[in-house]
Amino acid sequence: MINILSHYKKLLFYLLHRFEPGNYKKMRFYLSNILVEDVAPFIDLHGKRVLDVGGSSGEFSAFLEKKFQCSSVNLDPFPPKKSFKNTVKAFADKIPFKENSFDFVICRGVIEHIPTGKRVVSVNEMYRVLKRGGVAYFVVPPWFNPHAGHMLKPFHIFPFPIAKWLRKLFFGNEVSANSYAEATLFPITFKEAEILFIKSHFKIEETLDTHLRFHFLTKIPLVRELLVPAVAFILKKP
* Predicted confidence (pLDDT) per residue in 65-81, tens digit: 999 999 999 999 999 99
Rounded Cα–Cα distance for residues 143 and 175 (Å): 19
159 and 84 within one domain: no
Average pLDDT over residues 126-139: 98
Q: Are residues 64 and 120 in the same domain?
A: yes
* Phi-psi group of 207: left, alpha or beta (phi > 0 → left; psi -120 to 50 → alpha; rest → beta): beta
Question: 180 and 106, same structural domain?
Answer: no
What total of structural domains would you count in the chain? 2
Q: Judge if 136 and 148 occupy the same domain.
A: no
Q: Examine the domain organization and report whether 40 and 106 are in the same domain.
A: yes
Residues 118 and 54 in one domain: yes
Separation of alpha carbons 58 and 64, rounded Å: 10
CATH number at residue 197: 3.40.50.150
204 φ/ψ angles, rounded to the nearest 5 degrees = -80, 110
Question: What pLDDT does residue 19 have?
Answer: 86
What pLDDT sits at residue 47?
A: 96
Identify the pLDDT of residue 140. Answer: 98
Same domain? 115 vs 10:
yes
Nearest one of 157, 200, 36, 50 to 166, comparing CA atoms: 157
Residues 62 and 159 in one domain: no
Q: Has this prediction a pTM greater than 0.85?
A: yes
Asked if residue 232 and residue 192 are part of one domain, the reply reads yes
Distance CA 186, CA 178 (A): 14
Query: Do 127 and 168 share a domain, yes or no?
Result: no
| pLDDT at 160 (0 to 100) | 98
pLDDT in tens, 174-223: 999 999 999 999 999 999 999 999 999 999 999 999 999 999 999 999 99
pLDDT at 119: 98
Domain that holds residue 215: 4-142+188-236
Q: Is pLDDT of 60 > 90? A: yes
What's the CA gap between 101 and 53, in Å, rounded?
14
Residues 68 and 127 in one domain: yes
DSSP 174: P
Given the DSSP bridges, would you call strands 231-236 and 130-140 parallel, antiparallel or unpaired? antiparallel
